[in-house]
């Protein structure tokens, strides 16, 4: 029978007992005996466990598996041995030496807690924070919101011009007059929460955006590419929808609330930053897609009320489709805007139901608007 020296700790005191280990393979026990022990101890080999992730170098500590409250499911007693032959023999003879014991019913507990946590975090991101952002946006004093919007527009201007002092606003008086006429046509007789402040920036990008507090910026590229004044009116109506829905303010508040939440959930690991960025993009696009759809609905209503054909808006989406066709198209969930085909079809379908429509600008006014930056 293989014999070796070892140390035994009985688990009820810190006293160290010198013991002699004997491997009794025939009976399937590891027995050990020493001066301080009242009687020899017998540990069944099947219940013998080796503590995990120990350093190499001779010493190994063993424990006995039990069912109970202990976090490791080991009996509190420990046995350690530095005898190479004995340790090698134990590795061979004890069948469950490296088995990972887990508490009964732990699976259910994990599933329950995981589900609760995921539901809570999702509810936070998709329900509580958006609802709170919306309520706060309606509580915000108007002049503060306008100031905030101006700051956003200023930042956009710096960003687009590439320098801090850049002044991009186009000021051609006839163009401004045409723009004012378009605005009046779209808002006449409609109850508006905000006083609009519409600008055109001299920049080749084909885009438009709405900042908090009623500020709307059209970029010159949009006017250049637009095939009709109705297309511009459609886009403008869409942006007015954003203004009236307070989307920019709500978005800023929501972003402030959810800052850092995801990096907390996902944690800091190699490549974690990328995962956080991707997830944040997915979440924010899902929010904006909804806002875009609502702004489209607002635009169609405004166009109908103003008796302007929504065919123009459809041609703008046609343009977007055409441009997207040149590059690879993104799957819907990656895109911040709903698919342009559906939006074009919706506008076109709506145009077919419109009864009497009239041009939004005269030929001369349309030409003046296109030349607003000259």
Partner 1 sequence: MSVSSDIHGQYRGSRGALFALALKVALLTLITLGLYRFWGKTRIRKYIWSSTVGDGDAFEYTGTGLEKFLGFLVAVVVLALYLGIVQMLLFFGGLNYGFDPATPEGALALNALIYINLLALAPLIFYATYRARRYKMARTRWRGVRFGMEKGAWGYALRAIGYTLLTVVTLGALLPLSSFKLEKYMADRSYFGDARFEQHGKWTALYGAAKHLFFGLAVVLLSVGAGAALQAPVLLGGGVLLGYIWLAVGVVYYRVHAFRYMAAHRTLGDEITFTAQPTTGEVIKIYIFGTLIISLILGVLIFIGVALFTAAMSMVGTTSMAPVFTLMGVLYVVALLLSGAMALIFITQPTIAHFITTFTVHRAEALNAIQQRATETGVDAEGFADALDIGGAI
Tell which positions 245-284 bind partner 1, by CB under 8 A. 252-254, 256-261, 264-272, 275
Contact 253, 192 (CB under 8 A): no
Q: Which is nearer to partner 1, 257 or 339 (CB)?
A: 257
Binding to partner 1 in span 73-112, by CB under 8 A: 74, 76-78, 80, 82, 102, 106, 109-110
Distance (Å, rounded) from C-alpha 124 to C-alpha 259?
A: 12
Binding to partner 1 in span 10-69, by CB under 8 A: 10-16, 51-57, 59, 61, 69
Instruction: Please select the residue that binds partner 1; options are 114, 180, 332, 342, rule is CB under 8 A.
Output: 114
Q: Coil, strand or helix: which one is 366?
A: helix
Q: Coil, strand or helix: which one is 39?
A: coil
Contact 64, 57 (CB under 8 A): no
Torsion of CA 156, 335, 128, 276, to 10 degrees: -80
Query: For partner 1, how many residues bind (rule: CB under 8 A)?
Result: 73
Q: Coil, strand or helix: which one is 97?
A: coil
Binding to partner 1 in span 117-176, by CB under 8 A: 117, 120-121, 124, 128-129, 132-133, 136, 139-141, 144, 147-148, 150-151, 154-155
Q: Which is nearer to partner 1, 151 or 180 (CB)?
A: 151
Distance (Å, rounded) from C-alpha 87 to C-alpha 85?
A: 6
DSSP 137-152: HHHS-HHHHHHHHHHH
Q: Which is nearer to partner 1, 258 or 347 (CB)?
A: 258
Distance (Å, rounded) from C-alpha 233 to C-alpha 176?
A: 14
CB of 19 to partner 1, least distance (A): 13
Contact stretch for partner 1 (CB under 8 A) within 116-124, 171-179, 197-205, 328-336: 116-124
Distance (Å, rounded) from C-alpha 214 to C-alpha 198?
A: 8
CB of 285 to partner 1, least distance (A): 19
Binding to partner 1 in span 274-333, by CB under 8 A: 275
CB of 50 to partner 1, least distance (A): 11
């Amino acid at each position: 029978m293989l014999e070796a020296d070892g140390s035994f700790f009985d688990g009820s005191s810190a006293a160290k007992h010198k013991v002699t280990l004997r491997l009794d393979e025939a009976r399937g026990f590891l027995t050990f005996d020493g001066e301080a022990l009242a009687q020899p101890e017998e540990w069944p080999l099947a219940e013998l466990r080796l503590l995990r992730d120990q350093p190499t170098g001779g010493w190994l500590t063993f424990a006995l598996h039990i069912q109970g409250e202990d976090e490791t499911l080991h009996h509190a007693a420990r046995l350690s041995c530095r005898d190479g032959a004995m340790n090698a023999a134990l590795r061979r003879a004890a069948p469950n030496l490296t088995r990972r014991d887990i508490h009964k019913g732990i699976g259910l507990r994990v599933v329950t807690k995981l589900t609760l946590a995921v539901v809570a975090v999702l509810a936070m991101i998709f329900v509580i924070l958006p609802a709170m952002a919306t309520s706060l946006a309606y509580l915000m004093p108007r002049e503060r919101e306008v100031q905030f919007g101006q700051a956003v527009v200023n930042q956009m201007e710096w960003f687009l011009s590439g320098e801090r002092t850049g002044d991009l606003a186009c000021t051609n008086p006839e163009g401004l007059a045409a723009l004012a006429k378009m605005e009046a046509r779209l808002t006449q007789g409609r109850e508006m929460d905000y006083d609009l402040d519409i600008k055109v920036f001299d920049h080749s990008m084909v885009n438009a955006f709405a900042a908090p507090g009623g500020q709307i910026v059209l970029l010159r590229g949009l006017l250049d590419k637009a095939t009709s004044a109705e297309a511009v009116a459609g886009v403008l109506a869409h942006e007015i929808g954003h203004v009236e829905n307070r989307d920019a303010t709500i978005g800023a508040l929501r972003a402030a609330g959810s800052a850092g939440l995801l990096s907390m959930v996902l944690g800091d690991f190699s490549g974690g930053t990328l995962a956080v960025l991707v997830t944040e993009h997915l979440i924010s696009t899902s929010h904006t897609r909804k806002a875009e759809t609502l702004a489209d609905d607002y635009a169609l209503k405004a166009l109908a009320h103003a008796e302007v054909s929504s065919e123009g808006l459809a041609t703008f989406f046609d343009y977007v489709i055409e441009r997207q066709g040149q590059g690879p198209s993104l799957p819907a969930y990656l895109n911040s805007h709903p698919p342009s085909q559906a939006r074009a079809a919706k506008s076109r379908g709506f145009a077919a139901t419109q009864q009497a429509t009239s041009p939004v600008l005269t030929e001369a006014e349309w030409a003046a608007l296109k030349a607003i930056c000259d």
